[in-house]
Amino acid sequence: MSTAAQPRPIIADSLAAMEPAGIRHGFFTRDGGVSQGIYQGLNVGLGSHDDQDKVHENRRRVSAWFGLPLESLATAHQIHSPDVVVVSADYDGSRPQADAQVTASPGIILGVLTADCGPILFADPENRVIGAAHAGWKGALGGVLENTIDAMVRLGARRDRIHATLGPSISRANYEVGPEFVDRFIAVNPEFAAFFTPSSKPGHAMFDLPGLTVKRLTEAGVTADSLDQCTYAAPQTFFSYRRTTHAGEPDYGRQISAIAIKEQ
């Protein structure tokens, strides 16, 4: 992986169709960054133990891909909550504790950091309102997706005009959970049992986080799809917290998914 290369994010066809409306997005991979070792590539995680100069250079490269300065990149201090914040045109670089951000202001890049959890990018191209959410199991179960949509509507979006795309996240094939985890979901909604299948370990199950995410998005009244990319299964392409844990590594990098409205 060349440190001289520039980022080449994955582009979702559904969101790419919004380019004429001035909305640009990218689901970034490890490609095109300057970090080394276990953080090899485009690690943008300020909370990682990577060299912070390299992290800032990686974040600058992401911003430059959008044609904007680093100061335009808005990322939250993610805490696995259902909380959403509005980012305005006078964004000051702060990182509020939240797991989703929305804006109707051009020139702001909304970024969400992940390493197995689901990054979801939202856009209403007609009303030029965008959002970005971080949804692990806590966020997906706790309402961060629905709260992001509600916040976009308050900014002028129409629910039936919003499109949401789930980026790279851990797949059912690589997400084994214990019985107490399954019970927690079924207690909320018995229909959630459909997102668990028995694993080879007695009493354990494989959890379909992407399936649950897309279901909750569509039930909230927006059009939704998924890139169907597994972070755990592609070590050269994505960072993965679970893969790092299984490998006994001391830390892990984070990739970014981001979206912005261009100035008209």
Task: Kindly report, residue by residue over 71-126, the tens digit of the pLDDT.
Answer: 999 999 999 999 999 999 999 999 999 999 999 999 999 999 999 999 999 999 99
> For the chain, where are the alpha helices, taking DSSP H only?
13-16, 52-65, 137-142, 144-154, 179-188, 209-219, 241-247
Query: 2 Cβ partners below 8 Å, 6+ apart?
Result: none
Give the pairing type, strands 118-124 and 163-166. antiparallel
**Statement: residue 2 has pLDDT above 60:** no
> How much is the pLDDT for 25?
98
Task: Kindly report, residue by residue over 39-81, the tens digit of the pLDDT.
Answer: 999 999 999 999 999 999 999 999 999 999 999 999 999 999 9
> How much is the pLDDT for 5?
81
CA distance 110 to 122: 10
Task: Kindly report, residue by residue over 211-228, the tens digit of the pLDDT.
Answer: 999 999 999 999 999 999
pTM over 0.85: yes
Domains assigned to the chain: 13-155+232-261 (3.60.140.10)
Q: What would the two tokens of residue 73 be?
A: 């990149």
With H, G, I as helix, E, B as strand and everything else as coil, classify residue 140.
helix
> How much is the pLDDT for 264?
78
> How much is the pLDDT for 4?
62
> How much is the pLDDT for 116?
98
CB 86 within 8 A of CB 203: no
